[in-house]
């Protein structure tokens, strides 16, 4: 069960409302790098967690925290919209420099919400829950969470660089700090489970003897003749999981051309295909 105290986790203050920045902030609410995604992702990972309960509890905690982040951002969007132009006339009367403000807005902020946030990204794409990764494999999920917090922090930094409103910079510096911690936290969970090397390859419960072992540590070059393959840590030395040696090999087809049966007569093809 869940409870609220109706207060914000961190103060949200907008000194100079900017309805175009409101559009940009939407990416952090409903974008794939945003907070609805992490909230739902951590919730579904927690609700489906099988195995030791401490990881479930940790996920549930942080999912609950993320709700407060959506709330902060939704408040920030509403505050940035408070003086937004609502009509073409207001717009035309504006000065040339500000003249494009209406054009730069998410029109649904005017037409669909009455100047409030939407569960959408900066281009007005609604959040789609297919982005909630909860695989039932704890290590895969932790990597998905590090990814979410990495792209989330990259986004928050870009928003921070985009604005010079002190209130917005403050709020974003808090969210950036939380993203720092959450990157740490999911990696710490991997360490808690025995460390990255032991976790690999994910899932580590599948016996590697059943995979085609000749291809497990080979960097395959799909290059036409005469083009040099890229060299790096991935093409030589012991593998990251310590279980193999990297090698660089040239791609070549082990199978022939695929052969499918002709179409069946009742399957709606052309007669020319049946010949």
Q: Is 98 annotated as a binding residue?
A: no
Lay out the site mask for its own copies across 59-88 (x = CB under 8 A, - = otherwise): -xxx-xx-xx-xxx-xx--xx--x---xxx
The SS3 call for residue 220 is strand
Q: How many residues bind its own copies (CB under 8 A)?
A: 197
Q: Return the residue of 22, 36, 38, 42 that touches its own copies, per CB under 8 A.
A: 36
Say whether 66 counts as a known binding-site residue: yes
Q: Are 167 and 160 in contact (CB under 8 A)?
A: no
Between CA 259 and CA 68 the distance in angstroms is 56
Residue 131 labelled as part of a binding site: no
Quick check: 101 binds its own copies (CB under 8 A)? yes
Phi–psi pair at 249, nearest 5 degrees: -125, 155
Q: How many residues does the chain have?
A: 275
Q: What's the token pair of residue 246?
A: 């990297």
Q: Check the annotation: does 82 bind a ligand.
A: no
Asked if 167 interacts with its own copies (CB under 8 A), we say no
**Cβ at position 14, least distance to its own copies in Å:** 11
15 binds its own copies (CB under 8 A): no
Q: Is 128 exposed, middle or buried (0-12, 13-18, 19+ CB in 10 A)?
A: exposed
User: 22, 38, 48, 80: which one contacts its own copies (CB under 8 A)?
Assistant: 48
Identified binder of its own copies from the candidate list 35, 107, 166, 167, rule CB under 8 A = 107
Is residue 95 a known part of a binding site? no
5 labelled binding-site residue: no
CA 95 and chain centroid, separation: 38
- In angstroms, the CA 153 to CA 138 distance is 22
Q: Does 189 bind its own copies (CB under 8 A)?
A: yes
| Given 42, 50, 80, 167, the residue binding its own copies (CB under 8 A) | 50
Work out whether 113 is an interface residue with its own copies (CB under 8 A): yes
Residue labelled with tokens 């909630």: 132
């Amino acid at each position: 069960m869940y409870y609220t105290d109706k207060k914000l986790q961190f103060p949200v203050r907008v000194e100079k409302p900017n309805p175009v920045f409101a559009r940009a902030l939407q990416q952090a609410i409903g974008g794939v790098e945003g907070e609805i995604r992490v909230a739902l992702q951590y919730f579904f990972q927690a609700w489906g967690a099988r195995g030791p309960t401490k990881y479930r509890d940790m996920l549930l905690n942080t999912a609950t925290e993320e709700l407060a982040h959506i709330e902060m951002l939704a408040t920030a969007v509403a505050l940035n919209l408070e003086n937004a132009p609502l009509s073409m006339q207001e717009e035309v009367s504006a000065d040339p420099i500000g003249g494009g403000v209406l054009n730069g807005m998410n029109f649904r902020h005017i037409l669909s919400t009455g100047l409030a946030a939407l569960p959408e990204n900066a281009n007005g794409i609604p959040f789609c829950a297919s982005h909630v990764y909860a695989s039932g494999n704890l290590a895969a999920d932790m990597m998905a969470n590090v990814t979410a917090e990495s792209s989330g922090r990259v986004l928050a930094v870009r928003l921070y660089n985009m604005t010079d409103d002190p209130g917005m910079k403050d709020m974003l510096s808090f969210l950036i700090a939380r993203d720092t911690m959450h990157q740490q936290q999911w990696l710490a969970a991997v360490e808690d489970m025995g460390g990255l090397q032991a976790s690999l390859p994910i899932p580590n419960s599948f016996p590697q003897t059943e995979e085609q072992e000749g291809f497990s540590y080979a960097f395959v070059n799909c290059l036409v003749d005469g083009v040099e393959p890229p060299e790096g840590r991935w093409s030589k030395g012991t593998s990251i999981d310590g279980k193999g040696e990297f090698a660089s090999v040239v791609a070549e087809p082990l199978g022939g051309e695929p052969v499918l049966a002709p179409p069946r007569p009742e399957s709606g093809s052309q007669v020319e295909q049946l010949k």
